[in-house]
Chain A
Amino acid sequence: AQKITQTQPGMFVQEKEAVTLDCTYDTSDQSYGLFWYKQPSSGEMIFLIYQGSYDEQNATEGRYSLNFQKARKSANLVISASQLGDSAMYFCAMSSRRDDKIIFGKGTRLHILP
């Protein structure tokens, strides 16, 4: 069975600092994808970044990058130069070739301090 683990329930970071949100996963599938979603207080789910299990390079999208370490089964999200608007809940998630569904972790609530 697939599983996503996010061990940081909450984090406080000073504005403009970089922040790393941890995510580890477990799967027996060889082909899978890893996602990060942002959920602001308004509740919607915003797709941030995707990493495929066969991608050799770490994914980047603007200020977001995904530190993918396949052997360790980790997919940490790095936000560079954090902004006040980054304050939100962040979910790590995965899908596999076999499954339609996306499995989510419990999330990390990020607070950016001015």
Chain B
Amino acid sequence: EPEVTQTPSHQVTQMGQEVILRCVPISNHLYFYWYRQILGQKVEFLVSFYNNEISEKSEIFDDQFSVERPDGSNFTLKIRSTKLEDSAMYFCASSESSGSAYNEQFFGPGTRLTVL
């Protein structure tokens, strides 16, 4: 069964460093997402991406964040200068379609980011 994969599973970084979180969405999916879950809290939407453009972003997704689809398979989230409060689990998701109420998004296993 196709699945979304994410690397690395755990990333530890120093405050102020740049990190890139990588995701490989399901191959025939066209819509890609990043979500964040701070430990013990709910999952929060960060950004959605379609046709090489951001389609929607939350207020969390400020200038320190960027997304890219550098090739036909990878989807990346970059945090330019990490802060302590960026420590969280980051989930990538993909879906086949959008614009409907049934928008099943398949989630990856997550990358746990720890900022020291």
Contact = CB atoms under 8 A, between A and B. Distances in A.
Interface of A: 29, 31-33, 35, 37, 42-45, 47, 50, 52-54, 91, 93, 95-97, 99-107
A32 B109 contact: no
Contacts of A47: 104, 106-107
Interface string B72-116: 000000000000000001010100001111111111111010000
Contacts of B35: 102
B68 interface: no
Contacts of B48: 100-101
Contacts of B102: 33, 50, 52, 95
Interface of B: 31, 33, 35, 41-45, 48, 50, 55-56, 58, 89, 91, 93, 98-110, 112
Tell me the interface secondary structure of chain A in the complex: loop
Contacts, number: 69
Contacts of B103: 33, 95, 100, 102
Given A44-B109, A45-B91, A91-B43, A100 B104 contact: no
Contacts of A52: 101-102
A96 B8 CA distance: 31
A107 B38 CA distance: 13
Contacts of A29: 101
29 contacts: A31-B100, A33-B102, A37-B107, A43-B89, A45-B91, A47-B107, A52-B101, A52-B102, A54-B101, A91-B42, A95-B102, A95-B103, A97-B100, A99-B56, A100-B33, A100-B55, A100-B56, A100-B98, A101-B33, A101-B45, A101-B56, A102-B45, A102-B93, A102-B103, A104-B42, A104-B43, A105-B42, A106-B42, A107-B42
